[in-house]
Amino acid sequence: MAKIGIMGGGSWGIALAALLWKNGHEITVWSALAPEVAMLKEKREHKMLPGVKLDESITFTAEDQEAVAGKDLLVMSVASSYVRETAHRLKGLVAQGQKIVNVAKGIEESTLMTLSQIIEEEIPQADVAVMSGPSHAEEVGRGVPTTIVVGAGSKDTAEYIQTLFMNEVFRVYVSPDILGMELGGSLKNVVALAAGIADGLGYGDNTKAALITRGITEIARLGTAMGGKFETFCGLTGIGDLIVTCASMHSRNRRAGILIGQGKTCQEAMAEVNMVVEGVHSAKAAMKLAEKYNVQLPIIQQVNAVLFEGKSADQAVKELMLRDKKIEVFDLPWPEEG
């Protein structure tokens, strides 16, 4: 049995708390929001995960020391925009070598850092890992079979976290490619906004397939330029996460995109979804990275234009379709003509 602190009382953190408790671990859930802690203590259930009951032995707290001290693992499950603030808040409490696995997805716009890089900067004494893949909280909480990846700087750390999480409905792989995993998990949210916009415009399966396929091409193009491994973008944290986020109504990014495609502004869509839409925060960062690494991201570029420049969604689609003629795969040779 391990002692685990879940840093964040949102739906993903609670789904993982329920999973880890079922695996026999001692669970403490921390939230900076006192009303959220009070609700969880009273209801033993998160409003976004109806029916996922939390055992009386799970502790809920707003006290930093109680959540961090003596824990074998900390699970960082706050929204991406709060990762730096939370890490800075906890830095003085984390022991040398204490393991932290980040399960949020995003890129910090001001620094272009991934979330694990932020945690390492704020808490340099920690052993930081990431966990990512196609894994909606609503399904993990219900025990729907799910497969995910843990990335870490050492194989020992990755395999330790793998052992804590893995069970008959939650399969965990390990990988050394933390950067590729995080870029796949962050950028897929931007492409999912595009997929939702297409749905909101009334387009069909052909369009969705094209966005997923060309979307992963853009993600891999930027990710490999930054040092991520191509194989990672072909796996669970790349194409796998992109498929589920573009196709599912559990996806807040797709839902926000649908509303934008139906004519709502970015702010109106986020307000109606009433959850953090990570793709909006990652979209600008993606374009800054594209400029830095001299990479073309036509889908992500058009998403930015719709979100922040007032371009109509249907005009963005037309411009994507009417781009200059291209070869799909540049490295494939033509047979010699004779």
Same domain, 230 and 208: yes
DSSP state of 107: B
CATH number of 78's domain: 3.40.50.720
Q: Which two tokens stand for residue 138?
A: 């609503």
Same domain, 213 and 170: no
Question: What CA–CA distance (Å, rounded) separates 18 from 55?
Answer: 8
Q: Which residue, 153, 176, 199, sits at the end of a domain? A: 176
Same domain, 217 and 74: no
Same domain, 236 and 274: yes
Which residue in 188, 208, 229, 284 is the catalytic one?
A: 188
Same domain, 165 and 228: no
Domain count for the chain, please give it: 2
Which whole-number Å values give the CA distances from 316 to 311, 313, 320, in the listed order?
7, 5, 6
Q: Which of 126, 125, 167, 127 is nearest to 144 (CA)?
A: 167
**Residue for token pair 């893995």:** 166
Same domain, 135 and 192: no
Same domain, 136 and 276: no
Same domain, 77 and 157: yes
Residue 188 bears catalytic tag: yes
**Residue for token pair 């909280």:** 137
Range of the domain at 102: 3-176
259 class by beta-carbon count within 10 Å (0-12 exposed, 13-18 middle, 19+ buried)? buried
Question: For residue 141, what are the contacts with CB-CB under 8 A and spacing of at least 6?
Answer: 11, 14, 15, 18, 19, 49, 52
Cα-based torsion angle of the residue sequence 329, 332, 337, 338 in order, rounded to the nearest 10 degrees: -160
Which whole-number Å values give the CA distances from 83 to 89, 112, 250, in the listed order?
10, 14, 22
Q: Let me know if residue 239 belongs to a domain.
A: yes
Same domain, 172 and 234: no
Q: Let me know if residue 334 belongs to a domain.
A: no
Which pTM value belongs to this model? 0.94
CA quadruple 12, 116, 227, 164: dihedral sign:
negative
CA quadruple 42, 48, 51, 53: dihedral sign:
negative
Same domain, 105 and 202: no
Question: What CA–CA distance (Å, rounded) separates 177 from 326?
Answer: 30
Same domain, 198 and 136: no
Same domain, 16 and 60: yes
pLDDT digits (tens), the chain, 338 positions: 999 999 999 999 999 999 999 999 999 999 999 999 999 999 999 999 999 999 999 999 999 999 999 999 999 999 999 999 999 999 999 999 999 999 999 999 999 999 999 999 999 999 999 999 999 999 999 999 999 999 999 999 999 999 999 999 999 999 999 999 999 999 999 999 999 999 999 999 999 999 999 999 999 999 999 999 999 999 999 999 999 999 998 899 999 999 999 999 998 999 998 877 888 889 999 999 999 999 999 999 999 999 999 999 989 988 888 888 888 888 888 898 65
